[in-house]
Structure 1
Amino acid sequence: MTDAFIDIPGVRNFRDAGGIGALRRGVLYRSGSFHTLTEDGARRLKALGLRTVIDLRSTFELEVWPDQRHGLDHESLHLPTLPADRGDIDRPWPEDQVSLYPFMAETAGPSLAAVVRRIAAPESLAVVVHCAVGKDRTGLTIAVLQSLLGASDADITADFLLSNIGLGLDRGPVPYVDETGAERLSRPVGAELLASSLAWIHTRHDSVPAYLRHHGVTEEELEAVRANLSA
């Protein structure tokens, strides 16, 4: 297993997102949710200098599986990747992984812009970005941040694929019970999934910075993020 993974008891798929491009280690982490975080896990998070947790899950997920803190005093931001209401969009809701990824690129602009604005503040670090298991929604968000720091598509994809190891999906799909109580299968991620999100961004906005500017991020905020996260 890569040294990017960090053992945080009660948190799945926790790892450092840095070490590629100009993104330094120790400032940006990614993971699954904190709803089963243990006291020992909280102590380890405190030792990492945790100041901000950005939660990409839906409001309903937060209600069913609230993050645990165990006395941690970090700031928590709820910035859901997916639209809150299916009626807010004028296209079919994705029913599988293949359609999910371009859909996220199309609809997650406001969430991604808000993430960038928060990380533009120096006092936000160190920050953890998480969704339910740290695979899909977190995968796109972290890829956008790594791209801003000049990481290559190959390095971004390699980091994205580590979730298969972190979640035991390298051996195939894993059953789980979702927030509604329904039994589902968590499926491995493939390089083509993230590529479809990034292709949507590049086709319609030419670049990740242009995509973020389209959603209101300023050039000053982009530069601040690069300065805060760079080695």
Structure 2
Amino acid sequence: MTDDVQSAFIDIPGVRNFRDAGGVGALRRGVLFRSGSFHTLTPEGALRLKALGLRTVIDLRSRHELDAFPDLRHDLDHEVLHLPTLPAKPEESARPWPEDQVDLYPFMASTAGPSLVAAIRRLGAPGTLSAVVHCAVGKDRTGLTIAVVQSLLGASEADITADYLLSNTGLGLLDGPTPYLDETGAERLSRPVSAELLVSSFAWIHDEHGSVPAYLHAHGATEADLDALRTNLSA
């Protein structure tokens, strides 16, 4: 498993943490990818994305992030869906805004339902694949979204977690936090992910809804939506 998952990384110049989300559960390889944003995508990177058959990009970032760091296309003609995982402003959420990474994951689960359902519907639609799901660096928001999709494709918790933790390798976080500039130009720390973080998101989902499908149903997904996703992405 480890060697197979490690081979998921693909070199796309100008894009961080790009890798195949397939090979986990019944999710087949070559149809769904995950990454950081495309705001520094190079022309060579665009050619490699074209070679992967890119047709859809699902961008989980906020509008403020999109305005500050717009994705580059270099004449690629894929469709882009903007499906923010988090509310645009703290006051738009009924729950307190997370103060740290530990608080972020249950918070994401509490706010991501509409984004997840919209992503699942698009990924289950004809003509969508191949697709890329990305946020800023492809670690937290992307991590939860891909984990939910993989869970619907029958992946075990252990395999989902192993794939999720590869972001530490992809982002150079194996030795701890690294600095980065956010959309305001302020220097912040990008922190490694851990199994406990993802577990806390799924714990919130199960505590509030009982299961991932029930959580998605509560946000408008039908069983036909979930079946279409499985059919479109299954090996």
TM (norm. structure 1) is: 0.99
Counterparts of 1:71-82 in structure 2, within 5 Å, are: 71-82=75-86
Q: How many residues align?
A: 231
- Pick from 54, 57, 79: which aligns with 1:53? 57
SS in 1 for 2:217: helix
Distance 1:89 1:54 in 2: 22
Distance 1:52 1:141 in 2: 15
Q: Provide, for residues 58-105 of structure 1, a one-character-per-residue CA deviation record: whole Å limited to 9, x for no partner.
A: 001000100000010000010000011222122210010000000000
Is 1:167–2:152 an aligned residue pair?
Answer: no
What residue in structure 2 maps to residue 70 of structure 1?
74
Distance 2:105 2:199 in 1: 9
Counterparts of 1:7-18 in structure 2, within 5 Å, are: 7-18=11-22
TM (norm. structure 2) is: 0.97
Is 1:149–2:153 an aligned residue pair?
Answer: yes
Distance 2:10 2:138 in 1: 14
What residue in structure 1 maps to residue 44 of structure 2?
40
Is 1:97–2:101 an aligned residue pair?
Answer: yes
Distance 1:50 1:146 in 2: 20
What residue in structure 2 maps to residue 183 of structure 1?
187
| Structure 1 residues without counterparts, runs of 5 or longer | none
What residue in structure 1 maps to residue 229 of structure 2?
225
Distance 2:19 2:143 in 1: 12
Shift of 1:122: 2.1
- Pick from 121, 125, 135: which aligns with 1:131? 135
Distance 1:77 1:159 in 2: 24
- Runs of 4+ residues over 2 Å off in structure 1: none
Distance 1:103 1:41 in 2: 33
How well do the aligned residues superpose, as a CA RMSD in angstroms?
Answer: 0.8
Identical-pair percentage: 76
